[in-house]
Structure 1
Amino acid sequence: MSRTVEHFTTAAAALSFRTGCWIDGRFLPAHDNARFETINPATGEVLADIARGKAADIDLAVASGRKAFRSRVWSGMTPAGRKTILLRLAQLLRDHLEEMALLDTLDVGKPIADTLSIDVPGAADILQWHAEALDKIYDEIAPTGGRDLAMIRKVPLGVIGVVVPWNFPLDLAIWKIAPALAVGNSVVLKPAEQSPLSALRLAELAAEAGLPEGVLNVVPGLGHEAGQALGLHQDVDCLAFTGSTETGKRFLRYAGESNLKPVWLETGGKSPSLVFPDADLEAAAEKAAWGIFFNQGQICSANSRLLVHESLAEDMIARLKSKAEALAPGNPLDPATLLGPMVSNEHADRVAGFIQSGREHAHLVAGGSQISVGRSRAYVQPTVFANVPSDCLLAREEIFGPVLAIQTFKDEDHAVALANDTVYGLAASLWTRDLGRALSLSERLEAGTISVNTVDALSPMTPFGGLKQSGYGRDLSLHSFDKYTALKTIWVKY
């Protein structure tokens, strides 16, 4: 029998939340005992009071990570040993599937159907992939000749700061900590203040898997306190960040003001989906709806701009109107719900502001309303605008909500010009049956991933990241290990 909303409601009520900072293998209160609330956006109710880490707590966590790194309890372990522990952690995520899924569903409003089938299994799979890959990374020998041996080693950097957003709390934490830990670093993770619960439970499961004390520390807190302290810290060797472009620029300034730590950024997006007359229009419409409405549109690579050939405009607008109106926001603990609330009332207000602005410049096709349920006003209808001018906020700003902007193009050159007319370059989709067009336009589109006849193609085998102001960091694939290692040359004369 499939699980019901009553089952998940009962299971959620029975959860025990971890609320302290996880430092040196144990939960601690914040240094000054400060706390902040994490709120269920579906109800507006407080879930828990969480330790509000600040600079003193970051100092303690970094010192713990440095001590573990220098002791070589983890960095000096054989690759096979690290692999075993990380694989054990991946299995623990699977063993605690429902618990971890509920934590993210409660914290950020993600539908339980998604966290159960996509988020937690995906996090476990990506952790397993990096664990399986770590003992297949080889060092090099330079062809010096003579009585010289020049070895080029890939060595861990030391203490890695990781700052992740709230839209995929567990997944994006794993994207960064998996390769960082795999190559032998220590990690200090700062989860988003809206979504600390799964990160704190992850740390506890990592200890259960056998990760040594101090190798993974988690400090919840506010961005301008804990996040800033991590960015400015003189003893953090590298910082990996996913979030807004504005905040990413701030971390670059922090690096310049402190120790010139490398900062790997994956930031905003305004991704286009281009539909040509020879495309499978129903498939394109179905994926266009998924590409903007999945996760309530709270995805950096969401295909928020639909660019259609002018001959298709009426047809595609009708298809998207129908698909948007078939989706209704609902209780995220109901397995039938496809669309939950936004992460907070404040974020829903921001999205509603963009919708109101859009009404003044474009044609509202579907949706457009913000919905209140009890103390929550975080629900926003799937919204579609047509006839969107290129200089309109709908076409230029990252809304981070379920709002689709439809524009038309005349020919290939016009389509590419519209697609590239953005400061972002994270992803793009292209719909055509013409292989030559697909390949030639893929070369011209300015984005880190081009998905042909699909949307947001993703795998741990391929790198994820962007161009322009979408940042330059790459998560996933073998390339993800590069961020967390340095090349060291050891030259021996004999």
Structure 2
Amino acid sequence: MDQTTRRLSLPESPREFGFWLDGSYRGGRALFERASPGHGVPVTLIPKCTPEDVNAAVAAARRAFEDRSWAGLSGSDRAGVLQRTADLLRQRAGELAYWETLENGKPIAQARGEINHAISCFEVGAGAARLLHGDSFNSLGDGLFGMVLREPVGVVGLITPWNFPFLILCERVPFILASGCTVVVKPSEMTSATTLILGEILAEAGLPKGIYNVVTGSGRTVGQAMTEHPDIDMLSFTGSTAVGRACVHASADSNLKKLGLELGGKNPIVVFADADLDDAADATAFGISFNTGQCCVSSSRLIVERGIADRFEEMVAEKMKKIRVGDPLDETTQVGAITTDAQNETILGYLEKGTAEGAKVLTGGTALDMGGGSYIAPTLFTGVTPDMSIAREEIFGPVLSSFRFDTVDEAVKLANDTAYGLAGSVWSRNIDTALTVARRVRAGRLWVNCMLAGGPEMPLGGFKQSGWGREAGTYGVEEYTQVKSVHVAFGKRNHWVE
């Protein structure tokens, strides 16, 4: 693998992994062969774990939690492990980006950027481990003192998706570990390699055995076993709203485990006539095409002021035409392959629906033949009405629907006209306009004159059917804790019975 060339080479044979249990790889299971979505050749062999493997992983995590080998450490000691992990990730960034690209189909340059973000997550997590604290109440009178303790929730089950396998993993794991919890991870069977490699890195960084475990396989087998498991204290799931609902039901039917859910999105980008239109057009094309639109915070609904709408749509279309779609291992590629065959068919189906329902394609609208793999041209629909499927349903692909407005109130109403509330963006030089929209749009993240910006210091999460709870930063560490009130009495008790 020569990283000095403009295009990396494919592996000579698929890399075989075990699953990660109690500090080491375990094998002896049937294997799932993953083919690169950008090339159609096998790249990894991943174990198909069983419910019994889930039981073993949860038992290891429970033992490690109860023996206090991690939860009993100081925040400083936990921070040291997380910081060493960040350092080791930096040393192995090229390797991680390579396997991320092979399994997912995203461009190698993008994958490298995501590994850098993951490193930042561990660095922020290290700081948060030292800052996590409770509270005190010195206002209960001379005879009573109150303390509020934050304690780790226990064993956390973590189910991650295939669109950002390592980035989403690392927006959670450092903060779970900072809280003192142990974790059992189930990555998508399509993209398990980097989650498993993280086990090696954490062990080298000094994480005790049993704190981080990985079980691989299908959602129906492994994921279901985790959601129903009575000894998992909290489940963090990132994926579709439909599966999120199933997690809620499974939790209710098992042990009422705590849930953290980051689910679907149908995110608006609101552009006013006074915006820097060239910047806004570039951000619009980027926001829907990044990661081939397979991004829960993709800006999939363009809401543009009517007086500039025709011109702005053309500007966006011209930007989209220039996007370099191609081989994910090519350093110059901006948009890579669709990650799964099923998702490719889903996106193509929405392209057909959009045209059938009366929307007009300004650019894109077709699959692209790259000689192998699944590729779709970044697409812009105009003439979209709120009742259309492409306007209301999460497509999870590079498909943008355009709407028009005349007033701020109308723009806000269109932005909020969705079951989701994950993210949004507003573009205006007028600070009053921009902040009015930012405050009134019901979403967990808002970008003003920027797109997909920020770092792991800030919390992530959604409103409405986009999820529960927050990840990253100090909010993310607190998400994985329980709050306990402690009352301490002073002096002699006033007896109830004389």
**TM-score (norm: length of structure 2):** 0.95
Structure 1, residues 210-253: CA drift from partner, whole Å, max 9, x if none? 11110000111101111110000000000111111111111001
Bigger Cα displacement from structure 2, 138-147 vs 46-55: 138-147
- 2:64 partner SS: helix
Q: Which residue of 1 aligns with 2:119?
A: 124
Matched, 1:267 2:268: no
Q: Which residue of 2 aligns with 1:456?
A: 452
Cα pair 2:44 2:193 within 8 Å, conserved: no
Unaligned runs of 5+ in 2: 491-498
Bigger Cα displacement from structure 2, 406-415 vs 455-464: 455-464
The residue identity in structure 1 corresponding to 2:291 is N
Change (3 A) 1:333 1:420: same
Change (3 A) 1:89 1:17: farther
Q: Which residue of 1 aligns with 2:190?
A: 194
| Aligned length in residues | 487
CA–CA separation in structure 2 for the residues paired with 1:18 and 1:90: 25
CA–CA separation in structure 2 for the residues paired with 1:342 and 1:207: 33
CA–CA separation in structure 1 for the residues paired with 2:258 and 2:116: 31
**454, 458, 463: which is aligned to 1:467?**
463
Matched, 1:151 2:152: no
1:126 positional shift: 1.0
**25, 29, 52: which is aligned to 2:27?**
29
Cα pair 2:14 2:43 within 8 Å, conserved: no
Matched, 1:277 2:278: no
**311, 316, 321: which is aligned to 1:315?**
311
**286, 289, 293: which is aligned to 1:293?**
289
1:18 positional shift: 5.1
Q: Which residue of 1 aligns with 2:366?
A: 369
CA–CA separation in structure 2 for the residues paired with 1:15 and 1:482: 43
Q: Which residue of 2 aligns with 1:136?
A: 131
- 1:324 partner SS: helix
Cα pair 2:17 2:45 within 8 Å, conserved: yes
Structure 1, residues 424-445: CA drift from partner, whole Å, max 9, x if none? 1111111111111112222221
Change (3 A) 1:16 1:348: closer
The residue identity in structure 1 corresponding to 2:4 is R
Change (3 A) 1:287 1:35: same
- 1:126 partner SS: helix
Cα pair 2:60 2:210 within 8 Å, conserved: yes
Cα pair 1:331 1:340 within 8 Å, conserved: yes
- 1:419 partner SS: helix
Cα pair 2:259 2:468 within 8 Å, conserved: no
Q: Which residue of 2 aligns with 1:114?
A: 110
Q: Which residue of 2 aligns with 1:354?
A: 350
CA–CA separation in structure 1 for the residues paired with 2:109 and 2:372: 24
1:472 positional shift: 2.0
1:374 positional shift: 4.4
1:56 positional shift: 0.8
Matched, 1:441 2:437: yes
CA–CA separation in structure 2 for the residues paired with 1:390 and 1:145: 59
**234, 239, 247: which is aligned to 1:243?**
239
Cα pair 2:132 2:477 within 8 Å, conserved: no
The residue identity in structure 2 corresponding to 1:22 is W
Cα pair 1:458 1:464 within 8 Å, conserved: no
1:48 positional shift: 2.3
1:13 positional shift: 2.1
Structure 1, residues 302-342: CA drift from partner, whole Å, max 9, x if none? 00111111111111111111111112421111100111001
Structure 1, residues 2-35: CA drift from partner, whole Å, max 9, x if none? 82234x21xx5279845111011111126xx232
Q: Which residue of 2 aligns with 1:168?
A: 164
Structure 1, residues 354-393: CA drift from partner, whole Å, max 9, x if none? 01111122001111111344452x1111111111111111
- 2:125 partner SS: helix
CA–CA separation in structure 2 for the residues paired with 1:397 and 1:348: 16
The residue identity in structure 1 corresponding to 2:121 is I
Alignment of 1:7-22 (within 5 A): 8-9=8-9, 12-13=10-11, 17=15, 19-22=17-20
CA–CA separation in structure 2 for the residues paired with 1:372 and 1:315: 30
**TM-score (norm: length of structure 1):** 0.96
- 1:5 partner SS: coil
CA–CA separation in structure 2 for the residues paired with 1:344 and 1:472: 27
